[in-house]
Amino acid sequence: MKTDAENWYGKETGGTFMGYWTNSGAAVVRAMIPAGPDASHERHRFQPDQDWQQAEIAKHYARSGRLDSYLGDWHTHPDAVSGQLSWKDRACLKTIIRTPAARNSTPILILMCGSPANWDLHPWVCRIQTRFVLFDVLLEEKAGIALYG
């Protein structure tokens, strides 16, 4: 993540997490799939190469014996400090949750904010809650990160 963030510094970049959820509710990330060769990187916008990523997700899923699935994404917010989800981030998360093929009702999103040699990680776990019968709201929960090696 750091290498990609620094290579694209000044523009957003990102990728996809593959792994699984434990019975205790922890997400175990076992692989990261980069943005892809035809991704679009702009100052305040990032669009992965979705066809390429979906093919890589399918390959990883098969190689893992169908254990690892799509957990969520990460992307950079160059020079940002807050780590709060943008309206675009929230809209994207709602789309992921509502897309049956994603099979992910609680995606994780890690925002990587800052600049080279000074990146801060802001992990989130999100889900939709229906309120007032037809009104959906995105619930955003701060998450923690633990490294195992």
pLDDT in tens, 45-103: 999 999 999 999 999 999 999 999 999 999 999 999 889 999 999 999 999 999 888 88
**Residue 63 CB neighbours (<10 A):** 12
Exposure string (b/e) for 65-87, b if CB count within 10 Å is 16 or more? eeebbbbbbbbbbbebeebebee
The chain-wide mean pLDDT, for the chain, equals 92
Query: Residue 147 falls within a domain, yes or no?
Result: no
Q: Give 124's pLDDT tier (boundaries 50, 70, 90).
A: very high
Number of domains the chain is built from? 1
How many percent of the chain have pLDDT more than 70?
99
Q: Which of 116, 115, 124 is nearest to 145 (CA)?
A: 124
Q: What is the pLDDT of residue 148?
A: 77
Q: What is the pLDDT of residue 149?
A: 67
pLDDT digits over 133-145, tens only? Answer: 778 888 899 998 8
Q: What is the pLDDT of residue 136?
A: 82
Q: How confident is the model over 114-141, as a mean pLDDT?
A: 88
Query: Residue 46 falls within a domain, yes or no?
Result: yes
Full domain range(s) for residue 116: 2-142
Q: Which of 67, 1, 8, 65 is nearest to 33 (CA)?
A: 1
Query: What's the CATH number where 85 sits?
Result: 3.40.140.10
C-alpha span between 92 and 56 (Å, rounded): 20
Q: What is the pLDDT of residue 19?
A: 96
The sheet carrying 69-78 orders its strands as: 27-34, 14-21, 69-78, 108-115, 118-131, 135-142
C-alpha span between 118 and 120 (Å, rounded): 7
